[in-house]
A and B are shown apart, each in its own frame.
Chain A
Amino acid sequence: MKLLIVGYILIVSGSAALLYQDKTKEESIVAGEKIYQDFCLQCHLTAGAGVSGVFPPLKNSDYLMNNIEKSIAGIKFGLKGEIIVNDEVYDGVMAKQGLNNEEIADVMNYILNQWGNSYYKQITLQQVSEVQKSVLD
């Protein structure tokens, strides 16, 4: 009986882990680089430098590093209106890119850990799925 219960727990937790397994941070960053090149590069450019006054930088960006939730929401739902990045005003439109939550987590992990950026935590699928549009209000 005991064995049965232990076995049951193992199987259930094992399959749950398989179903909800996030990539490691390193795997997520690798996947995120591909997303970045397909969806972000045209505007934010190869080194994440952006274009002053038009496309905000991602490299050394105070907005990105201090507003993780809003940054996720911006990718997930699109972003418009005035934001201030490194003391410069940006008043543009970033269209919703149609990325799924996993792709958003991956590209966030990439931009948060590139070009000298560094973020101690990993952005998870769970975290992206919980971000609501209302954080942008």
Chain B
Amino acid sequence: MKTFGYYSVILFFTLYLSCAQDNPPFIESPSEINYSYETVVDGIDIPWGMAFISESDFLATEISGTLYRVINGKKIVVEGLPELYVRGQGGLLDVALHPDYINNNIIYMTISSNTEGDSEGGNTALYSAILDGNSLKDVKLLYKATPNTKKGQHWGSRIVFDQEGHLYFGVGDRGNRDVNPQDISRDGGKIYRLNIDGSIPKDNPFVGKENAKEAVFSYGHRNPQGMVTHPKTGEIWEHEHGPKGGDEINIIKPGVNYGWPTITYGINYSGTPITDKTSMPNMAQPFYYWVPSIGPSGMAFSSSGVYPDWTDNLFAGSLKFEYLERLVIENNKVVKREKVLDKIGRVRNVVEGPDGYLYVGVEGKGILKIVPAK
């Protein structure tokens, strides 16, 4: 009995210490599962982006380079995409509808591309196009990050809009963390803000600054993989992949430096440190950071009330642990994290549809709709 006591104490401290490095709140499994899911469309291997025209008609990207229009669960390939540069984590990334899509049929896409026709690799590009039935017309390049690189990592990039007629998108550090993210004269490791026609807003934070990329809105990012406009506050929420540990949720503010790689809660994949600093003056702290990393991808708030217990909760896919994460936020703090659709597969994207349901893109499975239990 005495030995048992000893072991309990040792066990307690082992658990305590191993948890101490993880950032609370710790992930929980729900005690009762009060939802199920339906497959809306299958046969999309990596469903990266999604944009709803109506509840039965939406666009979905396959990262390898196919844009689908899905009408009542049936996939139609949309023709007329600009040329892709497929390399590493790149490809056909996000798709979004113009806020006035219903009248102008304009869509936006982020694409890994080499528009220069050189042999030097690629970088992230933002395009607009008119969706005419099942084909793209009037395809326009609105922004192209430079220079091209053969690196495979960190292209970004989600596309969202605020309520004042701006478009936001992200570009990751493109595998060049010590050069790009902290330098506003270079692309990469940035969130960009454009007017809806692709022009640069005159009141962007770095307009008129010498050598600055004037489309830059915030910097010091590693690889933005989720962005959403908060349904109540209108703020732009973003999450990004850290290295080993240190995935972040940030609320994006003009001109702010989010710190990568000068400050981070992560370490190199090999286990060696990147920096001993987790905070610095003039660098923003994340709203929340994940240690260990979950590999977040896709981001949505549930605002509809379709799921009564989940109203105003934040959702993010986990590529690494293969579930959808539900984050409860109270008083500007994450107070609870819970697994939804545990072991479903690598969750690449989550979107709140016009019908208020959550739609989830899962690798190898397609797009699923979460249905509350009756």
Taking a contact as CB atoms under 8 Å apart, the answer to whether A98 and B86 are in contact is yes
Considering only residues 148-176 of chain B, those with a C-beta below 8 Å from chain A are 151-153, 175
B45 cross-chain contacts in A, Cβ below 8 A = 78, 80, 93, 95
Contact A42 B363 (CB under 8 A): no
Q: Which residues of B contact A95 (CB under 8 A)?
A: 45-46, 63-64, 89, 91
B269 at the interface (CB under 8 A from A): yes
Question: Is B289 in contact with chain A by the CB < 8 A criterion?
Answer: no
* Complex CA distance for A117 and B258, rounded to whole angstroms: 41
Number of interface residues of A (CB under 8 A): 18
Docked Cα-Cα span, A98 to B90, in Å, equals 9
- The residue on A at minimum CB distance from B271 is A46
**Do residues B46 and A93 form an inter-chain contact, with CB atoms below 8 A?**
yes
Binding site for A on B (CB under 8 A): 45-46, 63-64, 85-91, 151-153, 175, 269-271, 320, 322, 345-346, 363-364
Given known A-B contacts A38-B152, A80-B45, A98 and B88 have beta carbons under 8 A apart: yes
Which listed residue (A46, A51, A93) contacts B363, Cβ 8 A?
A93
Could you list some 8 contacts between A and B, CB below 8 A? A38-B152, A42-B89, A92-B363, A93-B45, A93-B364, A95-B91, A98-B85, A98-B90
Q: A38-B151, A93-B46, A97-B88 are in contact. List 15 more A-B contacts (CB 8 A).
A: A38-B88, A39-B152, A42-B269, A46-B270, A51-B320, A54-B320, A81-B364, A92-B363, A92-B364, A93-B346, A93-B363, A93-B364, A95-B63, A96-B86, A98-B152
Whether A54 lies near B88 (C-beta < 8 A) is no
Residues of the B chain whose Cβ atoms lie less than 8 Å from the Cβ of A97: 87-88, 152
Residues of chain B within 8 A (CB-CB) of A46 are 269-271
Q: Per-residue CB proximity of A44-83 to B under 8 Å, as 1/0?
A: 0110000100100000000000000000000000101100
B104 to chain A, nearest CB (A): 33
CB-CB under 8 A from A41, the residues of chain B are: 269
The residue in chain A whose Cβ has the minimal distance to the Cβ of B45 is A93
Q: Which residue of B lies closest to A41 (CB)?
A: B269
The answer to whether B87 and A98 have CB atoms under 8 Å apart is yes
Do residues A92 and B152 form an inter-chain contact, with CB atoms below 8 A? no
Cβ distance A23 to chain B, nearest Cβ, rounded Å: 18
Q: How far is the CA of A46 from the CA of B322 in the complex (A)?
A: 21
Which chain B residues lie closer than 8 Å to A39 at the CB level? Answer: 88, 152
CA distance A81 to B91 in the complex (A): 21
Known contacts A97-B152, A98-B152; A92/B346 CB under 8 A: yes
Question: Once the chains are docked, how many angstroms separate the CA of A78 from the CA of B270?
Answer: 26
In whole angstroms, what is the CA distance A96 to B364 when docked? 14
Q: When A95-B63, A95-B64 are in contact, do A42 and B87 touch as well, CB less than 8 Å?
A: no
Distance A66 CA – B64 CA, assembled complex (angstroms): 28
Chain A residues lying within 8 Å of B364, measured Cβ to Cβ, are: 80-81, 91-93
CA distance A97 to B90 in the complex (A): 8
Say yes or no: B88 contacts A45, CB within 8 Å.
no
Do A92 and B345 touch (CB < 8 A)? yes
Query: Which B residues are in CB contact (< 8 Å) with A96?
Result: 64, 86
